[in-house]
């Protein structure tokens, strides 16, 4: 699995139903939402994406769109371990509405999702095989029940030559994550689409660079990894001698 998400959705009701009816988002409405959700930040429009590809933008970039009744934000900054610790101003912006957070990272089998109603957290779950259950608040939602009942065990295939060990969780977080994304937002990142899924690839999102005015510029942030590479010592190459010791050689 290669699915990654960092997604917030504000909605006046059922998110999938609202997203099925949206058309082109209004740029002014979306930019106003970005300024409201990122007070004190510098915001500059850049190349956009779509809902299918834009739920996990690069760091420093946000993909977003706003329509009457529903607003979508893709941003790595919402990928926090405990959804209950989402910044207060982001939760306050959901007064009178539903707020959905979905954060998933396939490299570490990590999942976090949460739902607020009128600013009140009603469900939050965060877990990974390395950390276990980080947060579990509220009653499980209907799409979760087969997982907790043991009906969806993790199906892990060991590497050749390795012994199979029990998975650290009773189910795979990414399997639950896809079902959570479909139930809460109407689409999936991986797996077979269903006829009534939201056509996420058809929903265009605007792009924005978001920067702390007192922090490094975008150019400085992009230059930092290059400087780190340039500061590294030249690579060294070794070969294994017949007696098992390492002998340094000139090149690869």
pLDDT of residue 1: 45
CB atoms within 10 A of CB 84: 14
Contact criterion met (CB below 8 Å) for 25 and 67: yes
DSSP 153-199: ----PPPTTPPP---SSSS-HHHHHHHHHHHHHS--SSSPPPTTS--
Mean pLDDT lowest for which of 82-91, 134-143, 234-243? Answer: 234-243
Distance CA 39, CA 53 (A): 26
Average pLDDT over residues 85-113: 97
How far is CA 170 from its chain centroid?
Answer: 22
Element (H, E) at 36: helix 27-37
Q: List the chain domain ranges.
A: 4-249
% of the chain at pLDDT higher than 90: 75
CB atoms within 10 A of CB 209: 17
pLDDT of residue 247: 81
Contact criterion met (CB below 8 Å) for 42 and 61: no
Six-digit token string for 214 = 């007192």
Contact criterion met (CB below 8 Å) for 83 and 18: no
pLDDT of residue 38: 94
How confident is the model over 61-90, as pLDDT tens digits?
999 999 999 999 999 999 999 999 999 999
């Amino acid at each position: 699995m290669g699915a990654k998400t960092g997604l917030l959705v504000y909605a006046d009701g059922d998110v999938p139903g609202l997203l099925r009816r949206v058309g082109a988002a209004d740029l002014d409405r979306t930019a106003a939402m970005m300024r409201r959700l990122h007070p004190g930040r510098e915001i500059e429009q850049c190349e956009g994406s779509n809902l299918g590809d834009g739920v996990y933008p690069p760091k420093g970039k946000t993909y977003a769109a706003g329509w009457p009744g529903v607003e979508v934000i893709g941003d790595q900054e919402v990928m926090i371990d405990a959804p209950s610790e989402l910044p207060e101003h982001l939760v306050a912006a959901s007064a009178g509405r539903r707020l959905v957070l979905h954060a998933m990272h396939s490299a570490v089998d990590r999942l976090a999702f949460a739902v607020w109603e009128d600013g009140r957290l009603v469900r939050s779950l965060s877990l990974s095989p390395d950390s276990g259950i980080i947060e579990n608040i509220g009653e499980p939602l209907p799409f979760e029940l087969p997982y907790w009942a043991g009906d969806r065990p993790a199906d892990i295939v060991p590497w050749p030559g390795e012994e199979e060990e029990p998975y650290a969780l009773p189910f795979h977080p990414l399997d639950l994550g896809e079902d959570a994304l479909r139930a809460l937002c109407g689409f999936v990142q991986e797996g077979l689409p269903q006829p009534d899924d939201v056509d996420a690839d058809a929903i265009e999102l605007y792009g924005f660079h978001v920067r702390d005015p007192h922090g490094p510029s975008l150019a400085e942030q992009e230059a930092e990894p290059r400087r780190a590479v340039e500061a590294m010592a030249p690579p060294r190459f070794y070969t294994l001698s017949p007696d098992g010791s390492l002998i340094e050689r000139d090149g690869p």
